[in-house]
Structure 1
Amino acid sequence: MSIPAERRLNTVRLALRPVTPADRADLVALEADPEVMRFLNGGRPVPEEACPDSDFLTPRGTEPEVLAAHARATGAFIGWFALFDDGWVDGVRTAELGYRLRRDAWGQGHASEGARALVAEALGRRGFGRVRAQTMSVNTGSRRVLEKVGFRQVETVFPAFPHPFPGVEHGEVIYEVRRDDI
């Protein structure tokens, strides 16, 4: 299956393209890593059939908003990025950024590089006025990524977790970047 060029994004080191069912094994393996899932569900592996009623995304290769990220140099699967259209929120057309990377890709700038590309796409060609992202307060790695890309913290929330795990008591932080900020 050929993916149209307008649905792809390339950065210096990453090739981003919509996920397909052929990505399922990589997506499932990503969520089987307890460290990858630590700030989403306390490190519990996600079942292969996914978690349709969870409050976090468990892509399986059919989600149009999700982009598989591969290293341009090697073609290796690095993880995924997503940009969701949240519609008009407080009078501003808003998108939500999400991402999840393999542990061996952490600390190499891939998250910042991919997030920066999606933010530029959202605030530029796609016409959003704001991009938001949310992470656990204790997830310092994700917070650093968002700050590097230009996001600023705007709120802390305390959602109810049906199965609480360490760190949830500190809440989740919501970050945003607006077109006017860049």
Structure 2
Amino acid sequence: MTEIHTPRLLLRRWNDYDLAPMAEINADPEVMRWIGDGSVYDLEQTAEAIERWEEEWDEEGFGLFAVELLGSGELIGFAGLSVPEFLPEIMPAVEIGWRLGRQFWGQGYASEAAHAALEFALEDRGLDRVVSITRAGNTAAENVMHKLGMELELATTHPEYGFPLRVHAIDLTQYA
């Protein structure tokens, strides 16, 4: 089983106990305002999402990690890798992403988890390039991208929802 330990976090595969806390995170309109069309997810939608994330692990050899606090074991959200099929113009690509419960914002957890996931992508999985995609205006996400060493590569439009997107990228030579 793939696990990554950081000074404060454990990144690991999903288990049955993660559904309720992740559903609570996904039900927060403030957390979800930058995701998709901004709609919150209910318990069933969260269960379907976790199932898709686990399938991606099986199919791709990478995916979104459940992220928990080392001290308490509390699930705080996710961070990891996915294939951004919703944006065909940048394919083939692997995206790094994260989503944390609001009470865990502003404490460096997103940067810590995202850095671990980026290292996993480039060093463990042998990828030579990783992107990160956000809606224009999501400065918190862009701050994490900059901390990872990513640079703005493309400004485009979401093909389904029509809002502006910003694609940041880093390759292995920039990372090294």
TM-score range, shorter chain: 0.7 to 0.9
Q: How far does the alpha carbon of each residue in 1:77-108 deviate from its partner, in whole angstroms, 9 at most, with x for none?
A: 1111121257xx9xx98421111000011111
> What is the CA-CA distance between 1:44 and the residue it aligns to?
3.0
Deviation at 1:66, TM superposition (A): 2.1
The corresponding residue for 1:128 is 127
Letter in structure 2 aligned against 1:60: I
Q: CA deviation at 1:45?
A: 1.9
Within the alignment, does 1:40 sit opposite 2:74 as a pair?
no
Q: Distance in 1 between matches of 2:46 and 2:14?
A: 18
Residues matched between the structures, number? 164
Give structure 2 stretches of 5+ with no counterpart.
Answer: 55-62
**Long gaps (5+) in structure 1:** 53-57
Instruction: State the TM-score, normalizing by the size of structure 2.
Output: 0.82
Would the aligned equivalents of 1:83 and 1:118 in 2 still touch at CA under 8 Å? yes
CA distance in 2, matches of 1:103, 1:160: 28
Query: Residue 181 in 1 paired to residue 171 in 2?
Result: no
Is 1:12 matched up with 2:12? no
**For the Cα contact (< 8 Å) 2:19–2:43, is it kept in 1?**
no
Superposition RMSD in Å: 2.7
TM-score between both structures, scaled by the size of structure 1: 0.80
Distance 2:102 2:51 in 1: 20
Change (3 A) 1:159 1:81: same
Residue of structure 2 in register with 1:157 after alignment: 156
Aligned pairs (5 A) from 1:1-182 = 4=1, 7-41=2-36, 43-50=38-45, 59-60=49-50, 63-64=53-54, 65-84=63-82, 94-162=93-161, 168=163, 171-182=164-175
Report which of the two structures shows the higher radius of gyration computed on alpha carbons.
1
Percent of residue pairs identical: 29
2:23–2:46 Cα contact (<8 Å) kept: no
CA 1:72–1:51 in 2, change beyond 3 Å: closer, same or farther? closer
